[in-house]
Amino acid sequence: MSVPPSDWCNGKHTQAQIDAAQAARGPGFFARLFGR
């Protein structure tokens, strides 16, 4: 899935969070990041 960073949580993520997400594409990472 490719979602532009500006579309994540209405663009409210910081650049640090975006970098961390790109560096940690492990299972469940986005689930933890978004609390789902």
pLDDT tens-place string over residues 9-34? 665 667 777 677 776 665 566 677 77
Instruction: For residues 36 and 15, give the distance between their C-alpha atoms in angstroms, rounded to a whole number.
Output: 21
Domain spans in the chain, listed from the N-terminal domain onward: 5-34
State whether residue 35 is helix, strand or coil.
coil
Report the predicted TM-score, pTM, of the whole model to 2 decimal places: 0.32
pLDDT over threshold 70, residue 36: no
Do 4 and 14 meet the contact criterion of CB atoms below 8 Å apart? no
Q: Which residue has the tokens 């532009």?
A: 4
Instruction: For residues 6 and 30, give the distance between their C-alpha atoms in angstroms, rounded to a whole number.
Output: 16
pLDDT over threshold 60, residue 5: no
Instruction: For residues 10 and 25, give the distance between their C-alpha atoms in angstroms, rounded to a whole number.
Output: 20
